[in-house]
Structure 1
Amino acid sequence: MGIKLDMVGIVVKDMKAALDFYRTLGLDIPEQANGEAHVEVAQSGFRLAFDKQEMIKGVYGGWVEPVGHRIEIAFLCDSSDEVNKVYQTVIEAGYQGHNEPWDAFWGQRYAIVQDPDGNLISLFASLE
């Protein structure tokens, strides 16, 4: 059996708020997508999808919002300086940081921010 990761989906309360956050990270998402119930963005060989809670309830026949950290989404940055820059851009845009950039023992510059739905989003690059 051959399988390939094709899409990661994020359930969102407010599509515009979620898409604005991911635009701040640098994803190219058209403004007209703000009013959609489902949005997909091509990202390095797979798709990142956003689905409104109401749509997911219909698809699954119900849905209860989970609590706590559920999944990690990590974005590779071009350099350690880029990790610092993206983190600062996100914070200056009014979003919440979770961990400021640091040099991790596993050899990466690492930072964690929080999206509007509470998902922890990692930013990383190899230490130069």
Structure 2
Amino acid sequence: MRVKLDMVGIVVADMKKALDFYRLLGLEIPESANEDHHVEVAGDGVRLAFDTIEIAKSVYGGWEAASGHRIELAFACDDVDSLNELYATLTAHGYEGHKEPWDAVWGQRYAIVKDPDGNLISLFV
């Protein structure tokens, strides 16, 4: 038996706020999706899905707010300048920077921001 990662889902408190953040990351999401309860964005082989808390409750039979860092979403940037610029753009739009761009010991340029729901989102080259 073979399995393939097809989709990563994120539960969001406010769909528009979440989608606005991911649009700044460069994901193409139509404005018309702002009022939807489930949104999927096709990527390079993996879909990213956004569900409201109400949808999560209906699927899972309940929902509890997560605590702590459970999973990392990491987005590759074209180069160091684009990473630095993206981090600056996100924080200028009021999103919380968790860790400013730095040169990591494993050889990558790295930065971490928080999405509107507090998920840590890594940017790297």
- Which TM class, normalised by the smaller chain length? over 0.9
- Residue identity over aligned pairs, in percent, reads 68
Gaps of at least 5 residues in structure 2 are: none
SS at match of 2:42: strand
Find out whether 1:73 has 2:73 as its counterpart: yes
Paired residues, number: 125
Gaps of at least 5 residues in structure 1 are: none
| TM-score normalised to structure 1 length | 0.96
Query: What is the CA–CA distance in structure 1 between the aligned matches of 2:37 and 2:107, rounded to whole Å?
Result: 39
Mapping 1:30-49, distance limit 5 Å:
30-49=30-49
Mapping 1:46-65, distance limit 5 Å:
46-65=46-65
Query: What is the CA–CA distance in structure 1 between the aligned matches of 2:45 and 2:85, rounded to whole Å?
Result: 25
| TM-score normalised to structure 2 length | 0.98
Q: Which residue of 2 aligns with 1:101?
A: 101
Query: What is the CA–CA distance in structure 1 between the aligned matches of 2:87 and 2:3, rounded to whole Å?
Result: 33
SS at match of 2:85: helix
Q: For residue 46 of structure 1, report the CA deviation from its aligned partner.
A: 1.0
Q: For residue 94 of structure 1, report the CA deviation from its aligned partner.
A: 1.1
Find out whether 1:20 has 2:14 as its counterpart: no
Q: Which residue of 1 aligns with 2:90?
A: 90
Q: For residue 45 of structure 1, report the CA deviation from its aligned partner.
A: 1.3
Q: Which residue of 2 aligns with 1:7?
A: 7
What amino acid does structure 2 have at the position aligned with 1:87?
Y
Higher strand share: 1
Q: Deviations over 1:41-85 (max 9, x none)?
A: 011111000000111101111111111111100000111111101
What amino acid does structure 1 have at the position aligned with 2:110?
Y
Query: What is the CA–CA distance in structure 2 between the aligned matches of 1:96 and 1:116, rounded to whole Å?
Result: 8
Q: Over aligned residue pairs, what C-alpha RMSD do you find?
A: 0.6
